[in-house]
Amino acid sequence: MRGEKMINENEIYNGLSTAEANKLLKTHGLNILKQNKKATPVKIFIAQFNDFIIWVLIAATIISGFMGEKADAITIIIIIIMNAIMGFVQEYKTEKSLEALKKMASPTTKVIRNGNVQVINAELLVPGDLIVIESGDRVPADAIIVTSSNLSLDESILTGESLGVSKSSSNRNNSVFMGTIVLRGKGEARVVETGMHTEMGKIANLLQNIEQERSPLKDKLSSLGKVLVVLCVMICIVVTALGIIRGQDKYQMFLLGLSLAVAAIPEGLPAIVTVALALGVSRMLKRNALVRRLPAVETLGCTSVICSDKTGTLTKNIMTVKSIYYNDKIYNENRFKDEKLYLLKRAFVFCNDCEVNYREKNIGKSLVGEPTETALIKAFFTNSYDIKTFLDSAKRISDIPFDSNRKMMSVIVNEHGRKISYVKGAPERIIDRCKYISIDGEKKAFTENYKKRVQSVLNDMSSKALRCIAAAYKDSGIINGNQERDLIFLGFAGMIDPPRDEVKGAVLRCKEAGIKAVMITGDHKNTAYAIGKELGICSDLSEVITGEELDKLDDNKLSSIINKIKIFARVSPEHKLRIVGAFKRKNKIVAMTGDGVNDAPAVKNADIGISMGISGTDVTKEASSMILLDDNFTTIVAAVEEGRVIYNNIRKFIRYLLSCNLGEVLTMFLSSLLYLQTPLLPIQILLVNLATDGLPAIALGVDPKDEDVMYEMPRDKNESIFARGLKEKIIIRGSLIGICTVLSFLVGEVLNMPLRTCRTIALGTLIMSQLIHVFECRSEKKSIFQIKLFTNMSLVMAVTVSIVMLICVIYVPFLQIVFHTDALNLFQWGIVIFFSAFISTINSVYLYFK
Ligand code: ATP
């Protein structure tokens, strides 16, 4: 356990109280760097009108108002404003959820207040706070070191120099700066400057314009949007020109063309994609996955390999020592209090970084630290008072903390004036450094015979899924890592870390979804294999490879075998980068988890970098695109599922919006080609747009998941959004909507109905066929009768609102005047329903029998 602190003689400092901190917060303000000004709601609203065609339409409407068409002009303006409100609501909602997301992902820090270590939001730090920093942390403010152990920082963000800089309270280099990264060791430091007063704050203005991340899908849709704009505008010009050639009122035709352009151009498409992604992000959050980058949501759906750490992600990270091997004997749980284990006990307890809260009686609650280390103490003690007495018998002088590359940890302690070194770590690493073995308190040569015996017990314990930690000592002080040699082997402890209950099911779900689950662990091959087998990750020892074997393979060889490997054991964080590279060369989309500072490069390089919310370091969190709030593998699978659902939903509303818009354009285009009267007036076209484009499309964006979603193979990352028949669906259905609307109008004309009635029939048909089609868009395989209609209540409500809107426009006398409609009788409604439901019925029958 941590020994004496290296406290400067005149600098014993115990931090602030909460009351002092709150008071100081009022004077110094939040510990944040100045941010760019956010878009205000007013700005967002005004931006909705920032569209050339809208301005032309407004201008044209105002002119038409002066020319006498006052009611028309006012209604058009009202509709434009309502559209803008709809756009505003979407964008504001997105902005808010992105902001909330940023807040959730904002860094936390460990601080000692009222004498206790607490985790607080880094924004709340004040000068005077005592912070605790350790490897992987990003320093939250400028501070002076008070105590330290092996502290080394990466200050490249300030100095450009990427070599680690050693820091300690006892030398002149005792300041740490906001934004720098702790590479090694740990320490406590007193905050001296926060926010814009820090060194980082002084250069903060340089960092203001960090580019916002773009979503590839949104980019693709934006360029598609541009093509569609040109196409729509061309068609609108043709429609207008044909009308004018036929001698219709020029001004009316111009207005018609503009209205059609406003209705048909899917300008909202990229915005709705963002809404769908942002809403998806909040759904993922409910399932404990915090997405840090919006585009990651798209990629998640394509994931084909999930590489996961074992400890804590696949397992519970609740360690209990089950067996101890010492003195060439195996001790089971009920014999851990045996006096003979004294020396091993000293090694495990002194070479240990747990903190003990002596005020807490319950041993479980009194220990704060890594589960591996707390388990080693709990094996020997039942109450914290005994630990204190035991610890008082030695004082730590120095240490080399555990790191997952070395897989070991060493301390030097002073026991009654004698310097003794204790080392603990992965058994192979320890065995290699031992020349002697302690048997019955005697130092004997660590002969091949002993080594074989130790190895066989080790193999036996690890194949029972026990995680083994060995211990050794030396009766002199070791100064640095290279001198951990000629040690005296003591023994090892085997601890169980049970798999998480829900992971087995999640691994199975991965298999069904065509995703490969891979375990990457620093643990022993046998332990990893035993757990992997239990979880269904692997079935044969040939699917396991160790870090040592990996080192012997070049990148090409590794790529050639990587598809067969399910477990990487005894690997170091550096290996993870090679693993990601090898999978990528095989065209896999890789999700990779990580927690420690050394995992950050692999996490950054993976298609989906995942960090741990509980055990993860700041640096890894910053490198990741998603944080698992519960460190649980199941959450990754849930996030992949959500990723697929969101992508499918985006396809749904793209299908809906584009086929409907095509239907609207074709209605006008066909009728002008056929030299018919214009079936819809400008104001009616705008109404169609309002009734069908807004709410129903958004409701499709939150469509609940399809049951089949995790039974399909992952989609290709480069696949077009229109792939798998979507383009054809849009073109065919769009054309049919247009044709049916024109036909309904023609039937009215043939039956000698007044023009106003014919237009109302066309209006009804165009709106109703879209409102029926929106339900079809919910599935690409199932018919409207096979989908459970009421599983998306938002859609049902959105469609109801639109139908009510249509009925009001047709029957409310005042609106009849405004929208130039006629009350329809039952027969006329029959025409509307026939033409709007006709294609859907045929399509449903076809899908049903397919
Ligand atoms: P994963 O990568 O799945 O989280 P892991 O936790 O086993 O696996 P590491 O933390 O790198 O990976 O541990 C590797 C090995 O180092 C362990 O198998 C154990 O033998 C040893 N070890 C782990 N923690 C400590 C520690 N605190 N002190 C000494 N040795 C340790």
Active-site choice (309, 497, 595, 631): 309
Q: Indicate which residue's Cα is closest to atom 17 of ligand 1.
A: 523
Atom in ligand 1 nearest the alpha carbon of residue 595: 4
Give a yes or no: residue 587 inside a domain: yes
In this prediction, residue 222 carries a pLDDT of 73
Q: Indicate which residue's Cα is closest to atom 13 of ligand 1.
A: 522
Contacts for 367 with CB less than 8 Å, ≥ 6 apart: 354, 355, 356, 357, 374, 377, 378, 384
User: Beta strand pairing status for 320-326 and 329-332?
Assistant: antiparallel
Whether 197 and 252 share a structural domain? no
CATH value at residue 381: 3.40.1110.10
| 548 C-alpha to ligand 1 centroid (Å) | 16
Whether 190 and 243 share a structural domain? no
Q: Indicate which residue's Cα is closest to atom 20 of ligand 1.
A: 426
Q: Indicate which residue's Cα is closest to atom 22 of ligand 1.
A: 425
* 523, 526, 575, 633, best to mutate for ligand 1 pocket (most atoms within 8 Å of CB): 523
Q: Indicate which residue's Cα is closest to atom 9 of ligand 1.
A: 522
**Taking the mean position of all CA atoms in its chain, how far away is CA 848?**
38
Q: Within 10 A of 627 (CB to CB), how many other CB atoms are there?
A: 24
Q: Within 10 A of 415 (CB to CB), how many other CB atoms are there?
A: 13
CA separation for the pair 604, 293 (Å, rounded): 12
Give a yes or no: residue 681 inside a domain: yes
* 186, 311, 350, 403, best to mutate for ligand 1 pocket (most atoms within 8 Å of CB): 311
Q: Within 10 A of 238 (CB to CB), how many other CB atoms are there?
A: 15
Give a yes or no: residue 683 inside a domain: yes
CA separation for the pair 160, 544 (Å, rounded): 41
CATH value at residue 511: 3.40.50.1000
Task: Identify whether the C-beta of residue 535 lies closer than 8 Å to the C-beta of residue 503.
Answer: yes
CATH value at residue 788: 1.20.1110.10
Give a yes or no: residue 632 inside a domain: no
Q: Cα dist. 482→358, 400, 406, 479, 825 in Å?
A: 36, 11, 11, 8, 94
Atom in ligand 1 nearest the alpha carbon of residue 351: 28
Task: Identify whether the C-beta of residue 710 lies closer than 8 Å to the C-beta of residue 513.
Answer: yes
Whether 621 and 516 share a structural domain? yes
Task: Identify whether the C-beta of residue 521 lies closer than 8 Å to the C-beta of residue 571.
Answer: yes
CATH value at residue 188: 2.70.150.10
| 585 C-alpha to ligand 1 centroid (Å) | 29
478: left (phi over 0), alpha (psi -120 to 50) or beta: beta
Q: Indicate which residue's Cα is closest to atom 19 of ligand 1.
A: 426
Atom in ligand 1 nearest the alpha carbon of residue 353: 27
Q: Cα dist. 65→69, 350, 464 in Å?
A: 5, 88, 85
Whether 691 and 836 share a structural domain? yes
Q: What angle do CA 282, 287, 290 make, to 5 degrees?
A: 55
| 277 C-alpha to ligand 1 centroid (Å) | 37
**Taking the mean position of all CA atoms in its chain, how far away is CA 84?**
31
CA separation for the pair 737, 770 (Å, rounded): 8
CA separation for the pair 544, 521 (Å, rounded): 11
Whether 822 and 756 share a structural domain? yes
Whether 178 and 55 share a structural domain? no
Give a yes or no: residue 155 inside a domain: yes
Please tell me whether residue 522 adopts helix, strand or coil conformation.
Answer: coil
Range of the domain at 58: 43-96+215-286+639-849
Whether 788 and 810 share a structural domain? yes
Whether 591 and 528 share a structural domain? yes
Whether 343 and 487 share a structural domain? yes
Whether 91 and 124 share a structural domain? no
Give a yes or no: residue 37 inside a domain: no
Atom in ligand 1 nearest the alpha carbon of residue 468: 20
| 324 C-alpha to ligand 1 centroid (Å) | 17
Count: domains in the chain: 4
| 265 C-alpha to ligand 1 centroid (Å) | 58
Q: Which of 479, 496, 513 is the last residue of a domain?
A: 496
| 819 C-alpha to ligand 1 centroid (Å) | 73
Give a yes or no: residue 35 inside a domain: no
Atom in ligand 1 nearest the alpha carbon of residue 425: 30
| 457 C-alpha to ligand 1 centroid (Å) | 19
Whether 703 and 826 share a structural domain? yes
Q: Which of 626, 655, 677 is the last residue of a domain?
A: 626
**pTM score of the predicted model:** 0.82
Q: Indicate which residue's Cα is closest to atom 1 of ligand 1.
A: 521
* 404, 428, 484, best to mutate for ligand 1 pocket (most atoms within 8 Å of CB): 404
Whether 513 and 489 share a structural domain? no
Give residues (CB < 6 A) around ligand 1. Answer: 309-311, 370, 372-373, 402, 404, 407-409, 424-426, 467-469, 521-523
**Taking the mean position of all CA atoms in its chain, how far away is CA 155?**
28
Amino acid at 17: S
**Binned average pLDDT, 10 residues per bin, the chain of 850 residues:** 40 78 91 71 81 72 71 76 77 69 72 86 92 89 88 81 77 84 87 88 55 62 78 85 84 81 73 76 88 85 96 94 94 89 93 82 81 94 84 86 87 90 95 92 92 95 96 78 82 96 96 97 95 96 96 94 96 92 94 89 92 86 89 96 93 92 91 86 88 84 89 90 92 94 96 96 96 93 84 94 96 93 96 92 79
| 541 C-alpha to ligand 1 centroid (Å) | 21
* 822 given a catalytic annotation: no
Please tell me whether residue 431 adopts helix, strand or coil conformation.
Answer: helix
| 408 C-alpha to ligand 1 centroid (Å) | 8
CA separation for the pair 302, 481 (Å, rounded): 44
Give a yes or no: residue 301 inside a domain: no
* 349, 353, 402, best to mutate for ligand 1 pocket (most atoms within 8 Å of CB): 402
Q: Indicate which residue's Cα is closest to atom 25 of ligand 1.
A: 425
Cα separation of the two ends of the chain: 69
216: left (phi over 0), alpha (psi -120 to 50) or beta: alpha
Residue ranges of E strands in 61-101: none
Q: Which of 626, 654, 676 is the last residue of a domain?
A: 626
